[in-house]
């Protein structure tokens, strides 16, 4: 081992691959723990009173500012962009030494990387490593990276991306606090009696949430200060000096415990993005047509991939410099369930797949507040009456084809209105204000009078001489429809003459009241199927949940009122392409949709999959999570030993479906 130069710098022979730092970025990643990881994980070897000093002491958020659209070929973003506007993509060429793959990283190194059969379980947008040689044979290894990985296995739906900074110390000064400085900040680490210690920070492994990495301390991306290969940050097989530190410190150093060592040599891997990616924004069924919307860079060339027997490959049109793309697809036969959009300008081509949705059939043509009333008009192809949620009803128009209209007196209009049909179809529009006088300002604040002290009253009591307001019971609800896993606010305060409230559920699917005596309790609708289920659920109870309010007057008399809450279950499908090739692969996919819902559901909908080839003895296969586009999938190799011919899926939001699957 070479001795440290007098100034404390550590130099390494030119051309020596920094395999230990690169390997550390991969092999020490606890893959099985990703799904349970929190935003920051700090680990120190040894136990003692000094462990609290192992921490990140100088942070660096905001170095990465944007994430590109997901490439459906492998389920990771097409690129990440730092604040210097450098974009990096995953380097996915098994035979390219600039991608930094080590032996065994790619299952078949002689073949092209493909998902999922020949895909690495870790890949990097950027990976930097550096080493410090410590006295007496010790070593400190630094890893900085923006990593793409999987929470459990190389399976669609398990993708995560996170920013990592990691320092591992072996054979350093014993029982000391060491201070490390690197391009993205400062870290202190306590060593144990053997001189070992480490810190790992991963921000943040969240399945499918690729924006969490923007909060990490990684960025802007490092690059060689001179001579980098064209299209790359550097060459991971050569140690080199770098630039890019937001603090102007492009070195790795340690102090404390009698140490003062630094190096400016880094191994560095990162591929400059040549891909702009493609985001499939919407695909809407419109009669015999599908309207397809997408977005990408201004230089993109987008096309909708053809489907045999349904429609041909179709290029998308765009307005110059807009980034917007559109195509209207005429299809034959049954409507496609999804469409795939490819950006052929990317090398290799990137793509994005989106489910085809049905239009709501409701169009709001007017939502205008004039200061005293809200004028609403809407047309519907799914029938009437329509509900203006929380406000009133639109009856069928007298003239066929004319809009349904209503004038609703209100003092405080909502910012948006939602119009829906009993079938679940709905549309939303912002309210426009067309007039009205200015709201009266409040009174001037009073000057507080001096505190007079206690005020007491003595003498005989007496009853009230005023009148008594008649007792009534009335219930309002923030919504009369609730999906499983959501809640509705009830309010009984429009009742009169009451001195007490008593709430209870009379019939329908079980719900939970936050209080039985509060004036405005919350009704929570529990989820249905659970990933922890050991047997299939019985079908959910049908019908509305009827909630009863009893108000009690001062004289003990009571009045009653009711509200019916429609419990909305999702609609679950199983794709016809689902199959089980015994000894090879089980692949099941489908959709989960809530009629009229456009928001991202929290928590995400879970799917439980059962083998019901023998209906008398269902066997649990596994679980899946529904993504933000309403799709779910489950793939496992080689799959169950027994042949699966029929499956049942149950959703946490109440839906269920059963279908036979292909066996070859």
**Res. 627 pLDDT band, cuts 50 70 90:** confident
Pairing of strands 558-568, 481-483: parallel
Mean pLDDT of the chain: 86
How many Cβ atoms sit within 10 Å of the Cβ of residue 344? 15
Residues forming beta bridges with residue 256, ordered by sequence position: 259
Q: What is the pTM of this model?
A: 0.52
CATH of region 571-660: 2.60.40.10
Q: How far apart are CA 99 and CA 267, in angstroms?
A: 12
- CB-CB contact of 185 with 235 (8 Å): no
d(Cα 276, Cα 104) in Å, to the nearest integer? 30
Write the pLDDT tens digit of every residue in 549-563: 999 988 889 999 999
* pLDDT tens profile 209-248: 999 999 999 999 999 999 999 999 999 999 999 999 999 9
Question: Using an 8 Å Cβ cutoff, are 199 and 56 in contact?
Answer: yes
**Greatest alpha-carbon span in the chain:** 102
Return the CATH number of the domain spanning residue range 476-568: 2.60.40.10
5-19, 479-493, 540-554: range with lowest mean pLDDT: 5-19
In this predicted structure, what is the pLDDT of residue 452? 66
Residue keyed to tokens 């919504």: 479
| Per-residue pLDDT tens over the stretch 79-135 | 999 999 999 999 999 999 999 998 889 999 899 999 999 999 999 999 999 999 999
Rg (CA), the chain: 32
Q: Cβ–Cβ contacts within 10 Å for residue 189, how many?
A: 27
Q: Are strands 432-433 and 362-369 parallel, antiparallel or unpaired?
A: parallel
Percentage of the chain modeled with pLDDT above 90: 63
Query: Is the distance from CB of 67 to CB of 78 less than 8 angstroms?
Result: no
Mean pLDDT is lowest, of 260-264, 552-556, 644-648, 653-657, for 552-556
Burial call 505-544: b when 16+ CB within 10 Å, e when fewer:
beebbebebeeeeebebebebebbbeeebeebeeebeeeb
Token digits for 54?
Answer: 């192992």
Q: How confident is the model at residue 31 (pLDDT cuts 50, 70, 90)?
A: very low
Whether 476-568 and 279-355 are alike in CATH topology: the answer is yes
pLDDT of residue 494: 87
Work out the angle at residue 31's Cα, subtended by the Cα atoms of residues 180 and 29, and round it to the nearest 5 degrees: 25
Query: Phi first, then psi: what are they for 550, rounded to 5°?
Result: -115, 120
Mean pLDDT value of segment 313-331? 93
Assigned token pair, 454: 């206690």
At residue 147, φ and ψ (nearest 5 deg) are -115, 140
For the chain, the structural domain boundaries read 20-272, 279-355, 362-433, 476-568, 571-660
Residue 255 has a CB neighbour count (10 Å cut-off) of 14
Q: What's the Cα-to-Cα distance from 271 to each of 176, 202, 219, 355, 626, rounded to whole Å?
A: 39, 21, 15, 31, 32
User: Is 327 within 8 Å of 283 (Cβ atoms)?
Assistant: no
CATH topology for the 279-355 domain:
Immunoglobulin-like (2.60.40)
Among the residue ranges 251-255, 357-361, 407-411, 447-451, the one predicted with the least confidence is 447-451
**pLDDT band, very low/low/confident/very high, at 454 (cuts 50, 70, 90):** low
Using CA atoms, how far apart are residues 370 and 376, in angstroms rounded to an integer?
A: 11
- Token readout for 377 is 């008009």
Cα(142)–Cα(252) distance, rounded to whole angstroms? 8
Handedness of CA 615, 616, 619, 624 (dihedral sign): positive
Residue 135's Cβ-side half-sphere holds a number of Cα atoms within 13 Å equal to 12
The pLDDT value given to residue 225:
96
**In whole angstroms, how far apart are CA 99 and each of 115, 218, 229, 540?**
17, 19, 12, 52
């Amino acid at each position: 081992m070479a001795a440290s130069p007098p100034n404390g710098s550590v130099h390494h022979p030119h051309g020596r691959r920094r395999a230990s730092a690169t390997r550390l970025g991969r092999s020490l990643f606890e893959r099985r723990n990703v799904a349970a990881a929190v935003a920051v994980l700090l680990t120190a070897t040894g136990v003692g009173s000094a462990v609290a000093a192992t921490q990140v002491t100088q942070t660096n958020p905001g170095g990465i500012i944007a994430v590109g659209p997901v490439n459906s070929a492998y389920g990771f973003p097409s690129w990440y962009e730092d604040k210097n506007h450098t974009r990096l993509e995953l380097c996915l060429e098994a035979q390219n030494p600039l991608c930094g793959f080590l032996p065994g990283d790619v299952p078949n190194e002689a073949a092209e990387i493909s998902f999922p059969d020949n895909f690495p379980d870790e890949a990097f947008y950027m990976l930097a490593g550096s080493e410090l040689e410590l006295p007496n044979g010790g070593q400190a290894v630094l890893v900085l990276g923006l990593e793409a990985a999987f929470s459990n296995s190389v399976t669609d739906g398990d993708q995560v991306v996170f920013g990592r900074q990691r320092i591992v110390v072996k054979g350093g000064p014993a029982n000391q606090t060491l201070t490390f400085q690197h391009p993205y900040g400062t870290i202190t680490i306590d060593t144990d009696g053997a001189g070992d210690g480490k810190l790992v920070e991963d921000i943040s492994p969240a399945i499918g949430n690729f924006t969490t990495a923007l909060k990490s301390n990684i960025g802007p991306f490092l690059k060689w200060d001179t001579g980098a290969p064209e299209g790359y940050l550097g060459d991971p097989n050569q140690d080199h000096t770098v630039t890019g530190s937001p603090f102007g410190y492009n070195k790795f150093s340690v102090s404390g415990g009698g140490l003062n060592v630094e190096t400016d040599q880094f191994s560095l891997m990162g591929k400059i993005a040549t891909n702009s990616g493609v985001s499939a924004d919407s695909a809407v069924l419109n009669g015999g047509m599908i309207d397809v919307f997408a977005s990408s860079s201004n230089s993109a060339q987008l096309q909708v991939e053809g489907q045999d027997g349904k429609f041909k490959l179709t290029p998308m049109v765009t307005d110059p410099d807009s980034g917007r793309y559109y195509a209207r697809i005429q299809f034959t036969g049954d409507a496609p369930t999804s469409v795939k959009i490819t950006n052929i300008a990317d090398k290799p081509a990137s793509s994005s797949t989106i489910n085809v949705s049905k239009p709501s059939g409701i169009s709001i043509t007017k939502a205008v507040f004039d200061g005293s009333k809200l004028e609403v008009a809407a047309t519907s192809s799914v029938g009437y009456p329509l509900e203006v949620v929380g406000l009133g009803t639109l009856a069928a128009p007298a003239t066929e084809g004319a809009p349904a209209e209503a004038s609703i007196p209100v003092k405080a209009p909502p910012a948006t209105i939602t119009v829906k049909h009993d079938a679940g179809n709905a549309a939303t529009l912002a309210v426009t204000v067309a007039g009205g006088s200015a709201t009266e300002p409040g009174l001037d604040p009073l000057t507080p009078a001096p505190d007079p002290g206690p005020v007491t009253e003595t003498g005989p009591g007496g009853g009230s001489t005023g009148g008594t307001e008649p007792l009534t019971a009335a219930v309002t609800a923030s919504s009369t429809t609730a999906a499983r896993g959501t809640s509705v606010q009830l309010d009984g305060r429009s009742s009169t003459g009451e001195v007490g409230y008593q709430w209870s559920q009379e019939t329908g699917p079980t719900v939970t009241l936050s209080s039985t005596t509060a004036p405005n309790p919350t009704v929570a609708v529990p989820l249905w199927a659970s990933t922890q289920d050991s047997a299939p659920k019985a079908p959910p109870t049908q019908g509305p949940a009827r909630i009863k309010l009893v108000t009690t007057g001062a004289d003990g008399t009571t009045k009653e009122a009711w509200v019916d809450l429609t419990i909305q279950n999702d609609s679950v499908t199983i794709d016809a392409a689902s199959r089980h090739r015994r000894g090879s692969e089980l692949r099941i996919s489908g959709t989960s949709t809530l009629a009229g819902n456009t928001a991202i559901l929290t928590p995400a909908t879970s799917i439980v999959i059962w083998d019901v080839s023998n209906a008398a003895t269902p066997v649990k296969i596994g679980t899946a999570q529904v993504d933000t586009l309403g799709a779910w999938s489950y793939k496992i190799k080689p799959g169950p030993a027994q042949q699966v011919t029929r499956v049942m899926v149950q959703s946490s939001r109440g839906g269920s479906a059963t279908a036979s699957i292909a066996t070859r």
